[in-house]
Amino acid sequence: MGVLDGKVAIVTGSARGIGRATAELLVGHGARVVVNDLDRDAAQEAADDIGGETTIFAGDLTKDGAPDALVAHAIDTWGQLDVVVNNAGYTLDAAAHRISDDWWQRMLDIHVTVPFRVLRAAAPHLREPAKRERAEGLEVFRKVVNVSSMSGTMGNAGQANYAAGKAAVVGLTKTLAKEWGQFKVNVNAVAFGWIETRLTAAKDAANVTEIDGQQVQLGIPEELREAAPLLVPLGRPGTPEEAAGAIFFLCSPWSNYVHGQTLHVTGGQLGGMTG
């Protein structure tokens, strides 16, 4: 038996990277998972590779109605919702004085507005069952994990827009933890440091994605990548599987008394500013 047998999870941005590793880990422990991505083919390929009980929802979650449709798809498919992992995101890096209004708004849209809309849509399916369970003397925990970043908790040069969105989702996490604790919905965040994904791969012509009809360059300069052993006491970036392990912990029964927290998964990365 898996520790998540009978549970239904949504993992946004789960065709690749941390999201895919998370979906695979959740399925491996018995959950039924909605795999989401902008690219339908990528989402289908991930779901096919993962196996288990999966379904896909393809589409841009920044579009009006898409978060509601995502949650409705989970409910229509399996009739319940127990876990929400808000992972979808990307970066548009530039010095603060060079960030356009469009680039600023895009980062807020994907990193805080989308999680808010997904959770607003999910709220009845997370809260209402808990009311019935409470009346019956039962205590059943449901889980929300919002993916933040060390950029959001400590800042990062060249990422004012991304850092603002990732900081905002921490505030959303703490607020919902206060509102939803009575319904036994654990709401936590994970702030990642250097994890090997498309966002931290080499910035070259091949590392691009298409969003809303525009090509978006992903990755970071090679000189920054080479600095990883100097910045991370463990001596290397983390893997998507290691990142997924932290998310899985916050989705598991072992985190039932962990609530309103931001778990830093950084390998001890240096360079933050703390009070």
Q: Could you read off the pLDDT tens digit of each residue along the chain, which spans 275 residues?
A: 799 999 999 999 999 999 999 999 999 999 999 999 999 999 999 999 999 999 999 999 999 999 999 999 999 999 999 999 999 999 998 999 999 999 999 999 999 999 999 999 999 999 999 999 999 999 999 999 999 999 999 998 889 999 999 999 999 999 999 999 999 999 999 999 989 875 554 455 554 555 666 655 455 555 565 666 678 889 888 999 999 999 999 999 999 999 999 999 999 987 665 54
What's the rounded Cα separation, in Å, for the pair 71 and 30?
20
Paired with 185 in beta bridges are: 142
What's the rounded Cα separation, in Å, for the pair 91 and 211?
12
162 as an active site residue: the answer is yes
Please check whether residue 263 is in contact with residue 243, taking contact to mean a CB–CB distance below 8 angstroms: no
| Predicted pLDDT of residue 112 | 98
Contacts 24+ apart (CB under 8 A), 129-132: 129/80, 130/183, 130/184, 130/185, 131/183
Tokens of 202: 């080499």
What's the rounded Cα separation, in Å, for the pair 92 and 199?
10
| Predicted pLDDT of residue 220 | 54
Please check whether residue 12 is in contact with residue 116, taking contact to mean a CB–CB distance below 8 angstroms: no
Paired with 148 in beta bridges are: 191
| Predicted pLDDT of residue 198 | 59
| Predicted pLDDT of residue 210 | 53
| Predicted pLDDT of residue 163 | 96
| Predicted pLDDT of residue 253 | 98
Which listed residue (57, 141, 162, 248) is catalytic?
162
What's the rounded Cα separation, in Å, for the pair 131 and 137?
10
Enter the pTM of the model: 0.90
For 29, phi then psi, to 5°, come to -105, 20
Give the domains, in start order, of the chain with CATH numbers. 8-265 (3.40.50.720)
| Predicted pLDDT of residue 34 | 98
CA nearest to 197, candidates 11, 5, 19, 4: 19
